[in-house]
A and B are shown apart, each in its own frame.
Chain A
């Protein structure tokens, strides 16, 4: 592109005008003041991404992926809250992906090849509900546990296709996100009361493990701690 004289002058004057305003010079040391760092913002219950129907389908699915035993199920541990919060934010928008055309068939080694996760989730739920209803059942939630497991297995093995999105891509995302919600820091809405960490004996976001360097793989038996502190306090 040839740069016209007018174009150049406009650009130069904009630079000249803003350059002065943006410049800061510090001598000695960079100024510091207390409490200016932004703490992690806890996931709020107010943020909703799913409709009531979508939510019930997601609850049913994640509770098959991590069902209740002596530990709570995925939804009881706040995984759906976690998913809502994530899908309503930068993760859902796919902010970390390049999402412009031209669109070509990518390879597996090129990483995530689908739409923004929010679109993927919403479309996949609609498609799988349609597919199940075609078989004469009233949606995923109406299936019994065994049928739900069969359906999810079929999704995960690419045997059950979805009309608009790649079924396996959706299943892999859902499975990964469910684990993130169950074992991630409670500050993000899931892992309520650090149940995921209590299950596997992970002591959480402690700053200092030097006293345990020589523990040689033995269980630590330390109460878990969240990034947001939380000493036996309720999450949220």
Chain B
């Protein structure tokens, strides 16, 4: 904070001292420009700001801030298919946080998933993605985290069953699933695409939710990548057309940028875990980074896997008939008689990729539980969809889900009452 205090003194002192201060300031600036060590010191304000920004790009707070009163102090219970894992305390507390960690230690954790004491970190921490980031970015995040208020908060070991509770077995996991990578720009691609790749595949770790996972819990790549995955019991929809549904195939770059910036666009509104991502991460992105991210995501290649059965269910189907009645009486006031929604307000179901996802979990959960959009600067008043679990039975929820997935020109597999019962049970 050297420069800051100097600036403060400038405003307070007499004119003579002010001049002396100016001389000193220019000397400092000169020194900073000529001495990289000074410019990159942990007290460098712009370095801290960069670290803060990068921590937002990486959405660190989503998992590491469980209690808003204790930012980055961890202890957020992350439910995984293998058990519960509690996130680490990233504040510079010496006993329970990263107080003893050096920038090198932090880099090793980000790059290789290895803790300061040499133990492996569980891959719920996305080092599989963070390995891509540059040393400079890692150092900036480190500097930012070290500047936080130290908070003492002990974090428990995960409650994984044997042998997963032995961190050594992660050597095997890493052997199969982890590749220590660094980012090399593709000269064939635009600068925006390359930046977008760096953000999405690195800090942004988008595929942690939007790709399916293999039996070891690792993100699948290749044809399966970005074909949709599960996140906190919600379906993170496919981002590209293929087995997971139509993805974002008919989204424009403006659509995607508005969605990531404001939580809404002309076709839909964010909710659930993605609303949180927008709130804590993507709405803070600079215009150029947001543009880069959208460029990369919309350029994802079409999945080689065959698209799901695209034959729409006939309107004479009994489920479609019931669904049409439920839709007309419960849904159409907001989503429109023809599923057209209201731009910037209520989601359009006609042509919606989420509505037509192969996996109907999210559609069913929306109907059962309702949901609220995320308040952002542009749309400070969030709309909520009410819960219908108390008034619609399983068959009716299944019927209306089937209906919205096959009316208005949509087409997606029918939803069964049993599937609804299962999702209702899981809540």
A residues at B contact (CB < 8 Å): 28-29, 32, 34-35, 37, 39, 204-208, 210-211, 223, 225, 227-231, 233
With A34-B387, A208-B337: A29-B392 Cβ-Cβ less than 8 Å: no
A207 touches B396 (CB 8 A): no
* B residues in contact with A207, CB < 8 Å: 329-334
A229 touches B370 (CB 8 A): no
A39: nearest residue on chain B (CB-CB)? B390
* B residues in contact with A210, CB < 8 Å: 332-333, 337
With A34-B370, A231-B326: A29-B380 Cβ-Cβ less than 8 Å: yes
Proximity string of chain B (384-398) to chain A, C-beta cutoff 8 Å, 1 when within and 0 when not: 101111111100100
Find B375's partner among A28, A205, A211 (CB 8 Å cutoff): A28
**Residues of B in contact, count (CB < 8 Å):** 28
Distance between Cα atoms of A59 and B386 in the complex (Å): 39
A39 touches B391 (CB 8 A): yes
B337: nearest residue on chain A (CB-CB)? A211
* A residues in contact with B375, CB < 8 Å: 28-29
Task: Indicate if B325 sits at the interface (CB-CB under 8 A).
Answer: yes
Chain A interface mostly: loop
B392 touches A229 (CB 8 A): yes
Task: Indicate if B41 sits at the interface (CB-CB under 8 A).
Answer: no
B residues 174-199 near A (Cβ < 8 Å) are none
Query: How many whole Å from A213's CB to the nearest CB in chain B?
Result: 11
* A residues in contact with B393, CB < 8 Å: 229, 233
Proximity string of chain B (352-376) to chain A, C-beta cutoff 8 Å, 1 when within and 0 when not: 0000000000000000011110010
Query: How many whole Å from B403's CB to the nearest CB in chain A?
Result: 13
- Residue of B329, B331, B382, B390 with highest tally of chain A CB at under 10 A: B329
B329 touches A225 (CB 8 A): yes
Find A231's partner among B325, B334, B337, B380 (CB 8 Å cutoff): B325
Find B387's partner among A37, A205, A227 (CB 8 Å cutoff): A37
B residues at A contact (CB < 8 Å): 322, 325-326, 328-334, 337, 369-372, 375, 380, 382, 384, 386-393, 396
Find A229's partner among B333, B371, B382, B391 (CB 8 Å cutoff): B391
B389 touches A32 (CB 8 A): no
* B residues in contact with A225, CB < 8 Å: 325, 329
B326 touches A37 (CB 8 A): no
Find B372's partner among A32, A208, A211, A228 (CB 8 Å cutoff): A32
Distance between Cα atoms of A223 and B333 in the complex (Å): 17
* B residues in contact with A34, CB < 8 Å: 369-371, 387
Q: What are 24 pairs between A and B in contact, CB < 8 Å?
A: A32-B372, A32-B382, A34-B370, A35-B369, A35-B389, A37-B387, A205-B329, A206-B328, A206-B329, A207-B329, A207-B331, A207-B334, A208-B328, A210-B332, A225-B325, A225-B329, A227-B391, A228-B391, A229-B330, A229-B391, A229-B392, A231-B322, A231-B325, A231-B326
Distance between Cα atoms of A205 and B372 in the complex (Å): 23
* B residues in contact with A29, CB < 8 Å: 375, 380, 382
What 5 A-B pairs come out closest when comparing CB atoms?
A229-B391, A207-B333, A208-B333, A29-B375, A39-B390
Distance between Cα atoms of A211 and B340 in the complex (Å): 14
Query: How many whole Å from A35's CB to the nearest CB in chain B?
Result: 5
* B residues in contact with A229, CB < 8 Å: 326, 330, 388, 391-393, 396
B370 touches A35 (CB 8 A): yes
Query: How many whole Å from B313's CB to the nearest CB in chain A?
Result: 19
- Residue of A32, A204, A205, A231 with highest tally of chain B CB at under 10 A: A231
Known: A35-B387, A206-B329, A231-B322. 12 other contacts (CB 8 A): A29-B382, A32-B382, A34-B369, A34-B387, A39-B390, A207-B333, A208-B328, A208-B332, A208-B337, A211-B337, A225-B325, A229-B393
